[in-house]
């Protein structure tokens, strides 16, 4: 199946998975909460609104008998059986309202294709939701534009100590304040086909011990063996933004470059390591060891891997492994998850952080009710862990413990948190930067630009996007 070169150009590709859909919260064993619930009266409350359109749009109960808030939910939770999107989310709401009868939560499900635009339009129209479950890339941009309520009172000393991950906590901040309350996290990594490696005699190229770290030299050796045995490598996907964090992490790890400096203030991927990586990738594409992915995005690269058309993918995570498990089984493929290879064997991982924000709709009571709802979803003894597991990732709170006891694969994924690199998705102008990334990759692998020139141009435009955002 992997040997059939024609399959790679199939026009029937499944639409790309939105990487945001990998978001998750976790659960299994119960844990005592070490975080304090929001106070009854907010220390970060938004100005009260008397008769604002925002309050009317959200349906606040003006009779004084309670508060009504809205939750817009991307399809991040797995639904049982054939249940429609929103079924599990409604179960969370029902459980919350049973304990908080004075708060009514209205649910609206949104998708990853039109959802971001819907949110932006609603912000401008003054009809946006109260609570959103998303990732820092978008949430912090809303904060930078002054659209969110600060959540500093939820970040107690006990909670910060329980998370014990400075890079992750910083991803939830804009300036000196927190605007996203995190619940779960997972590293993005890559995956290889054990079937292909065994057939090509390349199992000795990878490491299956501990954190499974390996070197760029071993990765190159693996690709050559796969190619010699008739197998195709992953696409260098760059048709658009879908999954672009995976291919960026692959590029930066190869020769120890980085997207930005450690302080996340300027782009640096045009350094010596970045240029060497892009030069190598161009060589691998020309040799046929990796495939020109100008027509593919990240989701489509994953499609090719789980279909058995390619021997590895540079976009993987525990969430994707769970979502694609049935297809992999149907195709008789055993996927082995690995960190990205690097010259020194020490990876720097990009990662997903899932969390909640509260939009500033001019109503202190709604803001406080929203924080109470968020606290319940993240820290309730039953629902906090359950919500994390429902998305196949890991809790940010160490006190939740191992939510996947006996699962060695999940134990491996959890081990990658120690390799988290600075989180640059919250840098000003991040959304604009992404529009420059894939044309740069296309220019290099198609031979339209030399790696150094292409990366210099990308960095110049990316750094200008920071200034544009300011």
For 429, left (φ over 0), alpha (ψ -120 to 50), or beta? left
**Bridge partners of residue 352, in order along the sequence:** 186
- Helix axes 364-379 and 87-99, enclosed angle (nearest 10): 110
* Least confidently predicted of 52-61, 121-130, 173-182, 337-346: 52-61
Distance CA 331, CA 334 (A): 9
Query: Do the Cβ atoms of 88 and 390 come closer than 8 Å?
Result: yes
* Least confidently predicted of 31-35, 181-185, 363-367: 31-35
More confident of the two residues 286 and 166? 286
* Least confidently predicted of 253-257, 268-272, 296-300: 296-300
Distance CA 314, CA 336 (A): 12
> What is the CA angle 459-166-169, rounded to 5?
85
Q: Is the pLDDT of residue 131 over 90?
A: yes
At residue 44, the pLDDT reads 34
* Pairing assessment for the beta strands 181-187 and 312-316 based on DSSP bridges: unpaired
At residue 24, the pLDDT reads 33
The closest of 165, 236, 95 to 422, measured between CA atoms, is 165
Given the structure tokens 């490696």, which residue do they identify?
Answer: 197
Mean pLDDT of 142-169: 95
Query: Do the Cβ atoms of 118 and 406 come closer than 8 Å?
Result: no
DSSP state of 308: T
At residue 65, the pLDDT reads 56
Query: Do the Cβ atoms of 351 and 187 come closer than 8 Å?
Result: yes
How much is the pTM?
0.78
Going from the N-terminus, what domains does the chain have, and what CATH number goes with each?
A: 21-185+352-406 (3.40.190.10), 189-348+428-469 (3.40.190.10)
Quote the percentage of the chain above a pLDDT of 70.
86
Given the structure tokens 């006190």, which residue do they identify?
Answer: 399
Q: Is the pLDDT of residue 121 over 60?
A: yes
Query: Do the Cβ atoms of 310 and 234 come closer than 8 Å?
Result: yes
Phi, psi for 186 (deg, rounded to 5): -165, 145
Mean pLDDT of 352-373: 96
Q: Is the pLDDT of residue 441 over 50?
A: yes
- pLDDT tens digits, 86-117: 899 999 999 999 999 999 999 999 987 788 88
- pLDDT tens digits, 8-60: 333 333 333 333 333 333 333 333 334 455 543 333 333 333 333 333 334 44
Mean pLDDT of 335-346: 98
Mean pLDDT over the full length of the chain: 87
The closest of 270, 187, 316, 285 to 436, measured between CA atoms, is 270
At residue 38, the pLDDT reads 55
């Amino acid at each position: 199946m992997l040997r059939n070169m024609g399959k790679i150009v199939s026009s029937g590709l499944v639409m790309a998975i939105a990487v945001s859909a990998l978001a998750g919260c976790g659960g299994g064993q119960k844990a005592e909460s070490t975080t304090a619930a929001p106070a009854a009266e907010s220390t970060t409350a938004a100005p009260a609104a008397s008769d604002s359109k925002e309050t009317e749009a959200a349906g606040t109960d003006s009779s004084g008998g309670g508060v009504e808030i809205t939750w817009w939910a991307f399809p991040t939770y797995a639904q049982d059986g054939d249940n429609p999107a929103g079924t599990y989310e409604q179960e969370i709401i029902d459980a919350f309202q049973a304990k908080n009868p004075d708060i009514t939560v209205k649910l609206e499900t949104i998708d990853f294709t039109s959802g971001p635009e819907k949110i932006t339009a609603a912000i401008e129209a003054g009809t946006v939701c109260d609570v959103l479950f998303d990732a820092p890339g978008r949430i912090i941009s809303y904060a930078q534009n002054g659209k969110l309520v600060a959540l500093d009172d939820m970040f107690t000393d006990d909670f910060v100590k329980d998370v014990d991950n400075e890079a992750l906590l910083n991803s939830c901040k804009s300036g000196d304040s927190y605007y996203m309350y995190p619940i779960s996290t997972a590293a993005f990594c890559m995956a290889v086909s054990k079937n292909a490696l065994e057939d090509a005699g390349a199992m000795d190229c990878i490491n299956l011990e501990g954190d499974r770290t390996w070197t760029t030299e071993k990765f190159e050796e693996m690709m050559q063996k796969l190619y010699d045995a008739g197998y195709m490598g992953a696409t260098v996907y760059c048709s658009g933004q879908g999954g672009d964090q995976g291919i960026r992490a692959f590029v930066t790890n190869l020769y120890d470059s980085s997207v930005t400096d450690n302080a996340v203030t300027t782009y640096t991927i045009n350094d010596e390591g970045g240029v060497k990586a892009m030069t190598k990738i161009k060589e691998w594409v020309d040799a046929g060891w990796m495939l020109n992915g100008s027509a593919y995005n990240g989701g489509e690269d994953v499609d090719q891997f789980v279909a058995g058309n390619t021997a590895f993918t540079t976009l993987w995570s525990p969430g994707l492994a769970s979502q694609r498990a049935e297809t992999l089984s149907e195709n008789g493929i055993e996927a082995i998850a690995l960190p990205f290879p690097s010259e020194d064997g020490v990876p720097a991982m990009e990662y997903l952080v899932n969390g909640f924000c509260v939009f500033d709709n001019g109503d202190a009571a709604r803001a406080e009710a929203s924080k109470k709802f968020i606290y319940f979803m993240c820290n309730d003894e039953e629902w906090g862990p359950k919500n994390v597991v429902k998305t196949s990732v890991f809790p940010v709170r160490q006190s939740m413990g191992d939510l996947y006891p006996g699962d060695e694969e999940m134990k491996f994924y959890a081990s990658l948190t120690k390799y988290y690199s600075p989180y640059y998705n919250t840098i000003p102008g991040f959304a604009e930067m992404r529009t420059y990334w894939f044309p740069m990759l296309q220019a290099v692998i198609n031979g339209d630009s030399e790696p150094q020139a292409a990366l210099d141009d990308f960095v110049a435009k990316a750094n200008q996007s920071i200034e544009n955002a300011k």
